[in-house]
Amino acid sequence: MAFSLHGVHLPHRKATARMAAVRVAAPKSVLLPTMMHIGRPAVPVVKAGDHVDVGTLVAEQDGLISSPVYASVSGTVKKITEIVLSGGAAVPAILIESDGAMTPDPALCPPVVGSRADLIEAIRKSGVVGLGGAGFPTYVKFLTEDPGRIRELIVNGAECEPYITSDTRAMLDESADMALAFRALEEHLGIPRILIGIENNKKEAIAQMRRLAEQDPRITVRPLRTLYPQGGEKVLIYHTTGKVVPAGKLPIDVGCVVSNCSTLAAIGRYLRTGMPLVERCITVDGSAVREPGNVIVPIGMAAGDVFEACGGFSAAPGKVLYGGPMMGVSVPDLAAPVLKNTNALLAFSEKDAAIPAPTACISCGACQNHCPFHLRPAAIARAYRNGDVKKLEKLQPELCMECGCCAYICPAGRPLVQTNKLAKAVLRDARAKEKEAAQ
């Protein structure tokens, strides 16, 4: 599989890039889902009536692929309820009524790190997951029987989606914590090389990261062509190292670990302070937002409260998104909480949120020509409609990372990304049935 420079040119709309993040006042309450990560939900360890402080453990990790959850405000646990996430999963959630004091848990202190095992355990306890949107428990990426397998840490500073600038602010405002994380990973995991990939339209961030590189010979800054989706994991690896991750393989299979710049800043902050992941810097923007900007909010704060902290709406929102307009997920209602992996809340007016009705495919090939993996979305759509599983096997829709390039560039407005998702589900079901029949 080759990548080359396929993708799409998007309007940047990074008006908030030079707006330093402002911490908002404590909300009246927060709602903390026990699953804000890929894997199994955490298990609540508090009950209604319990007092918690900022950083108090409220749900413990359950299994390898899971992550602990910590109170993001001080106050009283009101109840353990249930929340339906955007993906449709119903999970327990902990409702905490804030006392407004934001008192840190007095038991918190910086972790003592003297070995590889200590560092990995510290990352686990921090509750940090992939903050670029994926939400994969970060500590698991460094769990390898052979530490020498990790030859390169690829730092994702591409931030290629329109509107979002929270990663840019992390590189500008939290570079000291990033440097602390780099030193710990170099010392205790023996990572020999750190490559920081940043789209070349972020001049200030590139300059700031180069200042880090001047102090550490293992760090190299890789300015990248401004082309979406530069931040895609396999795309980023290719454009920073020249390595291709084979189909069905992971970055570690080519000696790489990829981590978002905000993720690394959060690790460094935990190593420095002992405060686990309890807040996020997020970009609030979109045509329906009165006062766009970057804000630091407690995890679990309701989306509606965040928008109110940014002056409310200038127009009735027709669509609200977690994340960017290309890969973001619709927020079901304004009571939905900020999650660990929320990097932006975008609200668009009804006019801007309107989706044109699709028309017939004209077989122009634009979807294939702009796909970074050279997939054939139009052919996948035909095979899906025809129920042709054998054809889908050949077309490999499971390689799609759902970046949205195909749908964006399609002159007919076809829902190609959604069809790719459905095609993946058809293949999974067919393979499961084949396996069951074989057994």
Q: What is the CATH number of the domain that holds 9?
A: 3.40.50.11540
Tell whether 129 and 193 lie within a shared domain.
yes
Whole-number Cα distances in Å, 176 to 110, 192, 269: 16, 20, 9
Residue type, 294: N
Ramachandran category for residue 162: left, alpha or beta (phi over 0 → left; psi -120 to 50 → alpha): beta
Tell me how far apart the alpha carbons of residues 391 and 387 are, in angstroms, rounded to a whole number.
Answer: 9
The answer as to whether 264 is a domain residue is yes
Tell whether 346 and 373 lie within a shared domain.
no
Domain boundary among 302, 329, 354: 354
Smallest Cα–Cα separation from 54: which of 68, 73, 32? 73
- pLDDT score recorded for residue 275: 98
Sorted by sequence, the CB contacts under 8 Å of residue 381 that are 6+ apart come out as 361, 414, 416, 419, 423
* Three-state secondary structure readout of 379-405: HHHHHHHHCCHHHHHHHCHHHCCCCCH
The answer as to whether 38 is a domain residue is no
Tell whether 219 and 146 lie within a shared domain.
yes
Tell whether 272 and 412 lie within a shared domain.
no
- pLDDT score recorded for residue 3: 46
Whole-number Cα distances in Å, 191 to 62, 98, 198: 28, 41, 20
Tell whether 330 and 381 lie within a shared domain.
no
Tell me how far apart the alpha carbons of residues 153 and 191 are, in angstroms, rounded to a whole number.
Answer: 7
Number of independent structural domains in the chain: 2
Domain boundary among 354, 384, 417: 354
For 409, the domain range is: 366-438
Tell me how far apart the alpha carbons of residues 163 and 428 are, in angstroms, rounded to a whole number.
Answer: 34
Domain boundary among 299, 319, 354: 354
Tell whether 286 and 398 lie within a shared domain.
no
Both tokens of residue 401?
């990372």
The answer as to whether 69 is a domain residue is no
- pLDDT score recorded for residue 69: 98
- pLDDT score recorded for residue 2: 46
Tell me how far apart the alpha carbons of residues 79 and 87 are, in angstroms, rounded to a whole number.
Answer: 23
Q: How far is CA 103 from the centre of its chain?
A: 28
Tell whether 394 and 333 lie within a shared domain.
no
Contact (CB, 8 A) for 378 and 400: no
Tell whether 350 and 389 lie within a shared domain.
no
What is the H or E stretch that residue 179 is in? helix 175-189
Tell me how far apart the alpha carbons of residues 296 and 277 are, in angstroms, rounded to a whole number.
Answer: 12
The answer as to whether 299 is a domain residue is yes
Tell whether 268 and 403 lie within a shared domain.
no
Tell me how far apart the alpha carbons of residues 410 and 309 are, in angstroms, rounded to a whole number.
Answer: 37
Pairing of strands 90-98, 152-156: unpaired
Contact (CB, 8 A) for 17 and 202: yes
Pairing of strands 293-298, 22-23: parallel
Q: Looking at the chain, how many residues does it have?
A: 439
The answer as to whether 51 is a domain residue is no
Smallest Cα–Cα separation from 262: which of 191, 141, 327, 172? 172
The answer as to whether 72 is a domain residue is no
Tell whether 109 and 217 lie within a shared domain.
yes
- What count of other Cβ atoms lies within 10 Å of the Cβ of residue 383? 22
| DSSP assigned state of 357 | P
Q: Is the peptide bond before 229 cis (omega within 30 degrees of 0)?
A: yes
- pLDDT score recorded for residue 146: 86
Ramachandran category for residue 298: left, alpha or beta (phi over 0 → left; psi -120 to 50 → alpha): beta
Tell whether 247 and 313 lie within a shared domain.
yes
Tell whether 269 and 135 lie within a shared domain.
yes
Pairing of strands 293-298, 219-224: unpaired
The answer as to whether 307 is a domain residue is yes
Sorted by sequence, the CB contacts under 8 Å of residue 323 that are 6+ apart come out as 133, 161, 164, 329, 342, 343, 344, 346
Determine whether 87 is exposed, middle or buried from the number of CB atoms within 10 Å of its CB (0-12, 13-18, 19+).
Answer: exposed
The answer as to whether 1 is a domain residue is yes
Query: What is the block-wise mean pLDDT of the chain (439 residues), using blocks of 10 residues?
Result: 71 96 97 96 98 98 97 98 88 97 98 97 98 91 89 97 98 98 97 97 98 97 96 95 92 96 98 98 98 98 98 96 95 95 97 93 95 95 96 95 96 96 94 89
